[in-house]
Structure 1
Amino acid sequence: MKVTHGQEDLGPYTADDLHDREDEGRGRELENGWLLESSPSAAHNWAVMRVHDLIRDAVSQAGAAAFVAAGGWEVTTPAGIRKPDVFAIPRRIAKAAIVERDVTIIPGHELLLVVEVVSSPGRSERTDRVCKLKEYAALGIPQYWIVDYTPVPKVQVYVQDDAIEPFPLGRVYGSYRLDQVVEAGNVLEVEVEADKPFTVRFAPQVLTEF
């Protein structure tokens, strides 16, 4: 429930507060009861589009039943609602949201891969590198990529830590390990698990080429 002090809204906020805004929450995430606003630059949006297209092409080439989304899609996490820059989900989940409209917010545990492009130093950077790292790991998302486009294009690939032992009632997630760090001048090659695994391969410098 939202608490109001005078004319200033102090929070905490709920998903209803996010969606009841005049802008329907566009450009905002819900983190532990607070609404966080993002103002991505043109360079950030270009890098996001490039990553999206590269992953989508890899999915298509492999013939995997996966859908690659970018921008504006809402995903549930332990902290609330996130709007990842890019993510891949099984096609059936995308169909439920787009065609059947049975899903309004994508369950975070359904993601096959999630990517965040770091937009700027400061709070948004900390959110991508610290907060979301923990949230996405806790959901059991197999891979999390953190992409930098400045000062040097770079991709960090985090994967679920296999050292975590399964409990009798099922696996307990909660930890990533850094698997790869690939900068401009080298080539990233990552296999992503899906109904048909797909391999994403590219040189990070393409994220800033026009």
Structure 2
Amino acid sequence: MLQTESKTMNLEEFLDWYPDGYGRFELHDGVVIEMQATGTHEQVASFLALKQGIEIERLALPYFVARQCVVKAVDSDKSGYRPDVIVLDENALKDEPLWKKRSLITKGETAKLVIEVVSTNWQDDYLLKLGEYEKLGIPEYWIVDYLGLGGRRYIGNPKQPTISVYQMVEGEYMVTQFKGEERIQSAIFPELNLTAEQIFKIGE
């Protein structure tokens, strides 16, 4: 994760600046951050996107996995996040004022599921983004920590690879964690046949 611009920007300036087809960037409180993913990180994210896409097609749901999408912070015009995987509701896009122009999501109900694959900047996923996605009201958020990098208060001691699934219950996230051969329980895709270990093997 690298800071790439010396001046601060608002979200509109950031989207104007964003280099087309190159790199992956986020805006954190006005600061442009380049997210430098490893090859295994990309493999894990791609595998998860594929699994979500298969489930959407199997169930003929009005959802799709967006290739590029920025999620605007709920109470700031200086922060926007690009999830590793995001499942969007096609029917909700009509209420997104900037979707057609910017590929920007401002409402939590537009996103059915967000997945972040943990890298060395694990605090962003467990602290910053967890809080922002909860405030937005995104119904389900996965933190896929395939290397067991997160803080011990989040994944236990000793650290081990963990998938944390946060689901919205009465306005706040409740978490269930999955390890090893445990099948991931998803409210969005209740029939999803996917274990934590299947994901971890991709990242080996």
TM-score range, shorter chain: 0.7 to 0.9
SS in 2 for 1:126: helix
- Residue of structure 2 equivalent to 1:158: 166
Structure with greater proportional helix content = 2
Q: How many residues align?
A: 181
One-letter amino acid matched to 2:88: I
Residues 85-136 of structure 1: CA deviation (Å, up to 9, x unaligned):
1111112456999xx935531224211111100022xxx2111100101100
Of the three residues 17, 28, 33, the one matched with 2:30 is 33
- Assess, with a 3 A threshold, how the Cα gap between structure 1 residues 127 and 21 changes in structure 2: closer, same or farther: same
- Assess, with a 3 A threshold, how the Cα gap between structure 1 residues 189 and 161 changes in structure 2: closer, same or farther: closer
Cα drift, residue 56 of structure 1: 1.2
Q: Please, which runs of 5 or more residues in structure 2 have no aligned partner?
A: 149-159
2:87 matched to 1:88? yes
TM-score by length of 2: 0.76
Cα drift, residue 209 of structure 1: 3.6
Structure with greater proportional strand content = 1
CA separation in 2, counterparts of 1:9 and 1:155? 33
CA separation in 2, counterparts of 1:94 and 1:127? 27
- Residue of structure 2 equivalent to 1:145: 142
Cα drift, residue 9 of structure 1: 5.8
TM-score by length of 1: 0.74
Q: Which structure has the bigger radius of gyration?
A: 1
One-letter amino acid matched to 1:185: E
- Note the aligned Cα RMSD (angstroms): 2.8
**How much identity, in percent, do the aligned residues show?**
22
- Residue of structure 2 equivalent to 1:3: none
Q: Please, which runs of 5 or more residues in structure 1 have no aligned partner?
A: 1-7, 163-172
2:42 matched to 1:45? yes
- Assess, with a 3 A threshold, how the Cα gap between structure 1 residues 90 and 17 changes in structure 2: closer, same or farther: same
Structure 1 segment 103-182 matched on structure 2, within 5 A: 104-109=103-108, 110-120=110-120, 124-151=121-148, 152-162=160-170, 173=171, 175-178=172-175, 180-182=176-178
SS in 2 for 1:112: strand
